[in-house]
Chain A
Amino acid sequence: MLRLISAVGERSARSIEQLGDISIFGCQIVKCFLRPPLRFRPFVKELHKLGVLSLLIIGISGLAVGMVLALQGYIELSKYGSESSLGGFVGIVLVRELGPVLTGLLVTGRAGSATTAEIGTMVASEQLDGLRMMSVNPIDVVVVPRALAMILVMPLLNAIFTVLGLLGGWLVGVRVMGLDSGAYIGSLTASVGFQEDVASGLLKSVLFGVLVALVSTYKGFNSAPTSEGVSHSTTMCVVTASLAILVSNYFFTALWGM
Chain B
Amino acid sequence: MVLTHPISVDGAPRPEGGHVVLEGVRMEFSDRVILRDLDCDFPAGKISIICGGSGSGKSTTLRLIGGLIRPQQGHIRVDGIDVAALRRTSELEKVRQKLGMLFQKGALLDSTNVFDNVAFPLRERTKLDGDEISARVRECLLEVGLKPADERLLPSELSGGMVKRVALARAIVTEPVILLVDEPFSGLDPITSRRIELLLQKVNKRSGITMIIVSHDPGSTMRLADHLLVMLPDRYVQGTPDELRNHEDPRVTSLLTHEVDDSILEVDHMLDTVIQRGPTDLDSTWA
List of A residues within 8 angstroms of B184 by Cβ: none
Contact pick for A130, options B97, B101, B125, B174, CB 8 Å: B101
**A125:B121 contact, CB within 8 angstroms:** no
Interface check B100, CB cutoff 8 A: yes
Encoded as 1 (CB less than 8 Å from any B CB) or 0, chain A from 192 to 209 comes to 000000000000000000
The chain B residue sitting closest to A42, CB to CB, is: B111
Q: Which of B120-160 contact A (CB under 8 A)?
A: 120-121, 124-125
Interface pick from B18-26, B102-110, B269-277 = B102-110
Contact pick for A129, options B63, B108, B110, CB 8 Å: B63
Encoded as 1 (CB less than 8 Å from any B CB) or 0, chain A from 127 to 145 comes to 1011111111100000000
The chain A residue sitting closest to B96, CB to CB, is: A135
How distant is the Cα of A248 from the Cα of B99 in the complex, in angstroms?
Answer: 46
Number of A residues whose C-beta is below 8 Å from B? 14
Sample of 5 further A-B pairs with CB below 8 A, known A135-B125, A137-B89: A126-B103, A126-B105, A127-B109, A130-B101, A130-B103
Q: Which of A135-180 contact B (CB under 8 A)?
A: 135-137
Could you write out 10 A-B pairs with CB less than 8 Å apart?
A122-B110, A125-B105, A126-B107, A127-B107, A127-B108, A127-B110, A130-B103, A130-B107, A132-B66, A137-B89
**B93:A135 contact, CB within 8 angstroms:** yes
Known A126-B105, A127-B107; judge A133-B99 contact (CB<8 A): yes
List of B residues within 8 angstroms of A126 by Cβ: 103-105, 107
**A133:B68 contact, CB within 8 angstroms:** yes
The chain A residue sitting closest to B92, CB to CB, is: A135
How far in angstroms is the closest Cβ of chain B from A136? 5
How far in angstroms is the closest Cβ of chain B from A12? 21
**A125:B96 contact, CB within 8 angstroms:** no
List of B residues within 8 angstroms of A134 by Cβ: 96, 120-121, 124-125, 174
The chain A residue sitting closest to B121, CB to CB, is: A134
Number of B residues whose C-beta is below 8 Å from A? 23
The chain A residue sitting closest to B105, CB to CB, is: A125
Most interface-central of A45, A122, A125, A133 (chain B CB within 10 A):
A133
List of A residues within 8 angstroms of B125 by Cβ: 134-136
List of A residues within 8 angstroms of B100 by Cβ: 133
The chain A residue sitting closest to B103, CB to CB, is: A126
List of B residues within 8 angstroms of A127 by Cβ: 107-110
The chain A residue sitting closest to B101, CB to CB, is: A133
List of A residues within 8 angstroms of B109 by Cβ: 127, 130-131
**B93:A129 contact, CB within 8 angstroms:** no
List of B residues within 8 angstroms of A137 by Cβ: 89
Nearest 3 Cβ contacts at the A-B interface: A130-B107, A135-B93, A126-B107
**B107:A136 contact, CB within 8 angstroms:** no
Encoded as 1 (CB less than 8 Å from any B CB) or 0, chain A from 87 to 106 comes to 00000000000000000000
How distant is the Cα of A132 from the Cα of B104 in the complex, in angstroms?
Answer: 16
List of A residues within 8 angstroms of B66 by Cβ: 129, 132-133
